[in-house]
Chain A
Amino acid sequence: MTGIKDKKSARMRKAVYCCVLSLLFVLAAPLIPYVIDAHAEDVTSSKANKPVALQHPGINLWNDVRQRNEVTQGSSQVKGVDSGILINKTGEDWRRFRMEMLMPYGAYFMAAIVTAIVLFFLLRGKLRLPGGRSGELVCRFTLNQRTAHWFAVGIFWLLGITGLILLYGRFVLIPLLGADGFSITASACKEMHNLIGPLFLLAVLALLVLYIKDNFFNRDDITWITKGGGMFGGHVSAARFNAGEKTWFWLVMIFGFLLCITGLILDFSVFGQGREIMALSHVIHGISALILITVSFGHIYLGTIGVEGTLEGMTTGYVDANWAKSHHDLWYEEMSATAEEQQGIKQSVASSSTKPASSPAGD
């Protein structure tokens, strides 16, 4: 009997142990994820230095939407350029460029050049003709060349001023004109800029055709540049155009054509160009425009009040022989050699008059 009793009590004991164990297991069950988690953390931290092993479940979707991995092109029932793209980040880059770089640095750049020119003028004054006027006139620019130049000048400043108003007007002109007044001004500027803009291509093409012949750099330009263009005194030889003028010509060509190409992309927005292309075009357009505007200050200074006797070459077409000898001696010698055939040199009767007696045949 005792044997049976022992067997029974042993079974009871086993049952109690099982109950206690299963109770313990049930109680401890909620801790299991933490144990696994702690274990997983151990494994990951020992394998690599990645503190987080789990990704956000929607990470692929939102990475695609935010264009983080590559440009994800979705689709939309609304047809239009870029309508399948939810988020385009280039706009923010463009905003930063325009507001934090183009506007402040453009203004600094222009102010620096203007200050430098004013300082130079105060120090050196107007560069007078050595030996005064000779009364002898030399044909410098043909009517075609002058027309192309002034056509380009007109278009350039029309576009330059309207463009600068659109760039800086919000901060400079709204306080002066008020919101409504500036809106009308800006609207007129935008329309004029967009309508007149394509004509600048014609102006740049005309300048290219009419002026390229004498604007190729050669060995004389190196000496001209090393002597600083005679800015610090001393005489420097130059042909029809000196290295400075040639540089200005090529700047106008390079940035002028860049302005035209990007301007046409921005102006005619109906050819399916997206925001990236437009924003990039605007960046190139803005930089090119500010470079040409600032450098043109120097060109205008030297062509008007900076150097005596220069402006009349572009208005009447003729310059004084002393001006030619002083600034473009190589060209003057060349002209004198072929003076008779070209009728380039005119002897005026009265030395006080600078007007030519009659137009040359080539005009």
Chain B
Amino acid sequence: MARMKFYCDAERCIECNGCVTACKNENEVPWGVNRRRVVTIKDGEPGERSLSVACMHCSDAPCAAVCPVDCFYTTDDGIVLHDKDTCIGCGYCFYACPFGAPQFPSSVAFASRGKMDKCTFCAGGPEETHSADEFTKYGSNRIAEGKLPLCAEMCSTKALLAGDADVLSDIYRKRVINRGASVLNWGVQYKKAGIDG
């Protein structure tokens, strides 16, 4: 069984935010909610790198562990999803998640948190596959169509990869070898690239 993962290659990401836009458009995410974001560290300095981040679909997901109503579940593909009908909008998943993935629409009375929204790996939710309910609550279900998440499919530099963890690590291993980071000149290529500056 596949174990679905995202991987963002810091050597390739150019901070175009195409993944963010693709996600918002594909899933028709409400205003103020961004399931994916690109973070740039050392912006404008030597060694600047960007990474695209969303829900990482953890094996031991902290959000699922702390949820007071136990609304999270993991699919057979290792995708962490949640049930918005059960969610009470308490925000505990937001405190627990290290990546800041859970998002809360604030259009509810007294600006309290609405039901949580997060990246679904374009795998919809617990509603009937491709139903209108599923799309309204969770966005599109590309996995059911045999497609991968649109953010990774749209990535112009193929920095953001999505798919089976074994396949992704093979692709990344080949990239690392091609960059020349072999044992004998370890660090040389990275130094040239300014990553170790």
Contact = CB atoms under 8 A, between A and B. Distances in A.
Interface of A: 33, 54-55, 57-61, 64-65, 72, 74-78, 80, 82-89, 91-92, 94-95, 98-99, 166-167, 169-170, 174, 179-180, 182-183, 186-187, 190-191, 194-195, 266-270, 275, 278-279, 282
A92 B37 CA distance: 21
B69 interface: yes
A279 to B, nearest CB: 5
B70 interface: yes
Contact of B39 (A55, A85, A91, A278): A85
B156 interface: no
Q: Name the residue among B15, B51, B65, B88 with the largest chain A CB count within 10 angstroms.
A: B88
A278 B95 contact: yes
B66 A58 contact: no
Contacts of A75: 39-41, 43
B99 to A, nearest CB: 6
19 contacts: A33-B184, A58-B195, A75-B39, A77-B20, A78-B34, A80-B37, A86-B39, A86-B41, A91-B97, A94-B95, A170-B69, A174-B69, A179-B69, A180-B85, A183-B85, A183-B86, A187-B88, A190-B90, A282-B95
Contact of A57 (B97, B111, B187): B187
B14 interface: no
Interface of B is mostly: loop
Nearest to A174: B70
B49 interface: yes
B23 to A, nearest CB: 11
B39 A83 contact: yes
B167 interface: no
B100 A88 contact: yes
Contacts of B111: 268-270
B62 A95 contact: yes
A186 B68 contact: yes
B78 interface: no
Given A54-B186, A166-B90, A61 B39 contact: no
Given A74-B42, A195-B110, A269-B91, 4 more contacts: A60-B47, A77-B20, A78-B20, A282-B95
Contact of A95 (B42, B65, B69): B65
B39 A74 contact: yes
Contact of A275 (B65, B71, B94): B94
Contacts of B110: 194-195
Q: Which 8 A-B pairs have the closest CB atoms?
A: A57-B190, A78-B37, A74-B41, A183-B86, A187-B88, A74-B39, A57-B187, A78-B34
B195 A57 contact: yes
A65 B98 CA distance: 11
Nearest to B15: A77
B38 interface: yes
Contacts of A183: 69, 71, 85-88
A74 B49 CA distance: 10
A75 to B, nearest CB: 5
A278 B99 CA distance: 16
Nearest to B17: A77
Given A74-B41, A75-B43, A82 B113 contact: no
A167 B69 CA distance: 10
B161 to A, nearest CB: 17
B89 interface: yes
A186 B85 CA distance: 12
Interface string B93-133: 01111111000101000111100000000000000000000
Contacts of B66: 95, 98-99
Given A57-B187, A183-B85, A64 B42 contact: yes
Interface in B31-53: 34, 37-43, 47, 49, 51, 53
B113 A95 contact: no
B172 to A, nearest CB: 13
Contacts of B144: none
A325 to B, nearest CB: 50
A64 B197 CA distance: 13
Contacts of B104: 269
Given A57-B186, A99-B65, A86 B53 contact: yes
B175 interface: no
A76 B53 CA distance: 11
B171 interface: no
A68 B3 CA distance: 28
Contacts of A167: 68
Contacts of A275: 94-95, 100
Contacts of B90: 166, 186, 190
Given A180-B86, A275-B94, A57 B191 contact: yes
